[in-house]
Amino acid sequence: MATESPRRPSRCTGGVVVRPQAVTEQSYMESVVTFLQDVVPQAYSGTPPTEEKEKIVWVRFENADLNDTSRNMEFHEIHSTGNEPPLLLMIGYSDGIQIWSIPISGEAQELFSVRHGPVRAARILPAPQISPQKCDNFSEKRPLLGVCKSIGSSGTSPPYCCVDLYSLRTGEMVKSVQFKTPIYDLHCNKRILVVVLQEKIAAFDSCTFTKKFFVTSCYPCPGPNMNPIALGSRWLAYAENKLIRCHQSRGGACGDNIQSYTATVISAAKTIKTGLTMVGKVVTQLTGTLPSGATEEEILVHSNTRRSPLVPGIITVIDTETVGEGQVIVSEDSDSNGIVAHFPAHEKPICCMAFNPSGMLLVTTDTLGHDFHVFQVLTHPWSSSQSAVHHLYTLHRGETEAKVQDISFSHDCRWVVVSTLRGTSHVFPINPYGGQPCVRTHMSPRVVNRMSRFQKSAGLEEIEQELTSKQGGRCSPVPGLSSSPSGSPLHGKLNNQDTYNNFTNNNPGNPRLLPLPSLTVVVPLAQIKQPMTLGTITKRTGKTKPAPQISPSKSVGGEFCVAAVFGSSRSWFANNPGLKREKDQSKQFVVESLYIISCYGTLVEHVLEPRPLSTAPKISDDTPLEMVTCPRASWTLVRTPQWNELQPPFNANHPLLLAADAVQYYQYLLAGLVPPGSPGPITRHESYDSLASDHSAKPLSFYSGNILITFSGRFPLVRTR
């Protein structure tokens, strides 16, 4: 009997809704049969052909107004209401793009789908931050979609040299920005839109889309990111082509407390390989030639190095608000206005980098892909030379070279997943403040502070010591205190006696001065490889032997495009489709689920379960960790040629439009301006008081089409007429 299809049409948007499917154990022979059905003609296989699928070029998880918890008041009471932001997924095909939303209910909803040729990059632009002196010129057209496709709006421009901005409300193109050289990527936040070229970065104001500043001193990378950058809520990090001593920050990968070479050597095999690489580099420089197997990108970088003294591995972090307008120049003759940090991060060219949600941590990797560095950026108000960059972690992947394509943090910044073009996602444990991950730091649902003063100031330490001495063991004077995130400061491993003395004397010290934190080397607790078919999903832990799988070299160009993101579990619906979500089902787990999508269009939710190391003789707070991973649910989101397009103009209850209206209205209130559809003017003082007032205040409502948005206290409620 044929099973029911997981796809159905959506009544809200007119797109497609895909239900999650429970991932079951599938035999290896069934996986081979599925693979043969995909690649072998029907005449040879003797089986009916499977449904034809469009070719996926890239995948990406997106942040926009729809899932922005900091600006959408609907998600400010997540734990009490159970309403959590959806996952926003963007898929780039060889002919167009597609946008999906996966809410907490578990049913993936298609929001946008178009076929207009290959797209190199696309972004959903968030609503800008406005003020009485800075208004949004495109407020009536938002939300906007920035697209870089092969053919620009004029039709005569070179491929991928144009950024077109489309209104998802009306469907019209509202702005087009032309460039003379190809565009490789787009980044955006509520302040700027960043266009990434090969050796240049151009930033545009999010309200007017006029050029704000540009950078021309970028160091090129062979790929996959030709010019890697990281854009946070305010800071922008990019690879600089020189190290300027007068702007260099304290610390970095060459800090005084780090032996820059030996600290990153993990094994003798890596040392021998590095030595041979250095010998080959010297021979190459003496002969002036490259090996016959060198690629065009390596030849380009090598020729640029011979012409100018470029230095790889240097990172510059700038403040997009204070950097000013015009060209950003980092030289001995320039001042440090807008430069947050300037430091060496690697010995090889930077390949990929990403900020954590708070913007204080920066993860970087070079072209070899062996080690990923985690830096904590501590700024100084005077200059970048007074800032400090703490090298907290070196995340070691392996000995084979790999190109990193995606880096993602968990929301509590205790987990990092790094995905390579080999199709493997590596899960690392870290602490936002550094130190060795252990049972104490990662077995609690919340972040455990390294140096909490609560117990000491409340006098609980003395009580605990007294009870411990009487009972001959550890106990807590208050029930449940031992599981509190505010652990005793004695539980943390302090690096040196001076730091410990400063802490016990109620003086934490200046984090920008010596001694800097010691470096911690961390290996992945889990390595999840994306298969060619769903039945060959594998997980690699310390105790699990990987199942047979299709090699990634069988895919397009031997590379897997992979994207990963952390989020709340949505697999409860797949396992229990007849149940309704309740508060007890949305309980908080120790680790969020990991969602991974590959170039075959299957989104898989992996449940992560950290445990104390099983081989440890005794389990304590400092016991190392191991992790067990399990695929729990999957969504088949790849588009077929028979799939209908879903283009604007959309109706007023479209999720993207509802989110844009709510965020824009709230931004107008904060700026003290008159929101669209408001009955009268609102002063800044009145708007602030109304938002900060008690929930018993009179609610403020307005209509956007057929949608009624009501602000009661601090939280908007959305209803239809």
In whole angstroms, what is the distance from residue 189 CA to residue 268 CA?
A: 44
Instruction: Quote the CA–CA distance of 310 and 701 in Å, as a whole number.
Output: 58
Q: Is the pLDDT of residue 244 over 80?
A: yes
Range in 510-524, 527-541, 573-587 the model is least confident about: 573-587
Per-residue pLDDT at 584 exceeds 50: no
pLDDT at 466: 60
Each residue of 681-693: b (16+ CB within 10 Å) or e?
A: ebeeeebeebbee
- pLDDT score, position 664: 86
Higher pLDDT, 720 or 693: 720
For position 549, what pLDDT does the model report? 35
Q: Provide the pLDDT for residue 683.
A: 45
Distance CA 329, CA 337 (A): 10
| Average pLDDT of the residues in 72-97 | 76
- List Cα–Cα distances, 274 to 12, 150, 261, 489, in angstroms: 57, 40, 10, 40
**DSSP structure class, residue 534:** G
Residue 3 burial class via C-beta count within 10 angstroms: exposed 0-12, middle 13-18, buried 19 and up: exposed
Average pLDDT value for residue range 681-710: 44
Predicted pLDDT at 344: 96
Q: How far is CA 449 from the centre of its chain?
A: 23
How far the first Cα of the chain sits from its last, in Å, is 43
Residue 236's closest CA among 151, 91, 124, 353?
Answer: 353
At 701 the pLDDT is: 53
Q: Which of 391, 389, 488, 508 is nearest to 440 (CA)?
A: 488
C-alpha closest to that of 149 among 92, 206, 210, 222? 92
Average pLDDT of the chain to the nearest whole number: 76
**Residue 616: per-residue pLDDT:** 87
Q: Where are the alpha helices (DSSP H) in 398-542?
A: 439-442, 454-457, 460-471, 497-504
pLDDT category of residue 153 using cuts at 50, 70 and 90: low
Model confidence at 237, pLDDT cuts 50, 70, 90, reads: very high
Nearest partner of 486 among 513, 529, 446, judged by Cα = 446
Confidence of residue 151 (pLDDT cuts 50, 70, 90): confident
pLDDT band at 154 (very low <50, low <70, confident <90, very high): low
- In DSSP terms, 1 is beta-bridged to none
Percent of the chain with pLDDT over 70: 64
pLDDT above 70 (res 351) = yes
Residue by residue, DSSP assigns 328-358 as E--STTS--TTEEEEEE--SS-EEEEEE-TT
DSSP code at position 494: -
Of the listed ranges 12-21, 203-212, 680-689, the least confidently predicted one is 680-689
Q: Is the pLDDT of residue 451 over 70?
A: no
Res 679: pLDDT? 56
pLDDT of residue 24: 67
